[in-house]
Structure 1
């Protein structure tokens, strides 16, 4: 049985990094997804054996969730269908409880690291290379610490940026709907993907910025900020990934703007092209 759900995990791009034995008792199993960094356990799976083999799996890193059940020609009784629905609810509850636990642990680690770090200076090699300032960020040894806060201002997790520009997040932390704030909004708020872009926008315009860290997080952040600031003009400052199929930067920014009644801004360079 477990071979079948493992096949489904492979097909969904959530294959375990190494051989994984799944319990069939409805208990959640955490695992490292193939391709994730060493030491991480972003993958999760829950499996039941009765009334039919079924389960669910996903990734807290990507937010993906999938359900699976064995193929059978047997007609299910009303009681069996009711049991499957109960199990599905239990799977979701187990997933959410474990996610909340993992995120709480990450919040505690983030707070401890943030408290130990010193304010970053503009002399950090990454900031020097990008030509941007250090706005509300900190530094621990060679790493910049970029805070990811929710709309209440609570620190949820951290992004680390090395001197060479390599980026990673604190394992297990919540990213969805979280952002790094730069400045205080007055009549408008700029929303963008990366810290260097946000710092550039703030220096150039003097307007407050929310750094979302990724294209996929633009809409969750925009929605959270619309709830917090119902009258502000929200401007989605898109990365124009014109060389990437589907142009995810511009696509996600446009979708986010539509969702919150905002605007989209795209930089224009010499020759009238966008980037």
Structure 2
């Protein structure tokens, strides 16, 4: 029976995009960290914790994205009030454990980010990525062959780093907090732009002169928009969407609209010319 529950939990994790790269799950009430199959080797951004009593249940998520999910066995017995109370207690304990572990992981990443940032040098203006994108190195530095983009919270605290190689490959520092963190370009005046990637943010800043924030990914647009609105309550915020027209659900536009709506902002959407063949 335990193996059946383990398979069911592993399936749920896979369906959520958090498949374990190797190994299996165990139900021992402890938080376990693991490498998500799509993450780089050596990283342990995934986490889970499982209980068998009073009924099989678990929670899992990712330090990288900040997401969390719960799982319960489909064929649950009818639990008594005492058993229901015990399961609620277990999930509350999991939340506390996760918060403590997350704080520890993020703290280690903050220290590492500060150390690595201190080792960087001013970015080479002719770096292949910058040259290919046609933008300047606004606030960007370089470590060996990689550009280094800082991710800070609204108070200016450095939390993590994004590395961009000469080939355009991107990776974030393992374990670093990204939710609500961004790379700022320019000094805000009346209007503040928000975009996903650094190259887009830099292009917008150079084209408009408006201060711009890079959120690093579509899922972080909403947390960053809220952080910016709290810091700049009177500024006009325009969320500049990535138009993922060829991706089902157009996540770039969908997340941009959600972010703009939450902070009473506007959305700017790039239009692409459709040519008849």
TM-score range, shorter chain: over 0.9
Matches within 5 A, 1:173-252: 173-252=176-255
User: 1:121·1:133 contact (CA, 8 Å) conserved in 2?
Assistant: no
Q: Deviations over 1:152-211 (max 9, x none)?
A: 111110000001111110011111111100010011111111111111111111111101
Cα shift at 1:214: 1.0
Q: Secondary structure at the match of 1:105?
A: helix
Give the equivalent residue in structure 2 for 1:106: 109
| TM-score normalised per structure 1 | 0.92
Give the equivalent residue in structure 2 for 1:87: 90
Gaps of 5+ in 1: none
Gaps of 5+ in 2: none
Q: Secondary structure at the match of 1:116?
A: coil
- Aligned partner (choices 20, 27, 42) of residue 24 of structure 2: 20
| TM-score normalised per structure 2 | 0.92
Cα shift at 1:225: 0.3
Is 1:30 aligned with 2:13? no
Structure 1: how far apart are the matches of 2:43 and 2:274? Answer: 45
Aligned residues: 271
RMSD of aligned residue pairs (Cα, Å) = 1.8
Structure 1: how far apart are the matches of 2:135 and 2:120? Answer: 20
Give the equivalent residue in structure 1 for 2:149: 146
Is 1:78 aligned with 2:81? yes
Cα shift at 1:23: 4.5
Structure 2: how far apart are the matches of 1:10 and 1:122? Answer: 41
Structure 1: how far apart are the matches of 2:20 and 2:98? Answer: 17
Give the equivalent residue in structure 2 for 1:63: 66
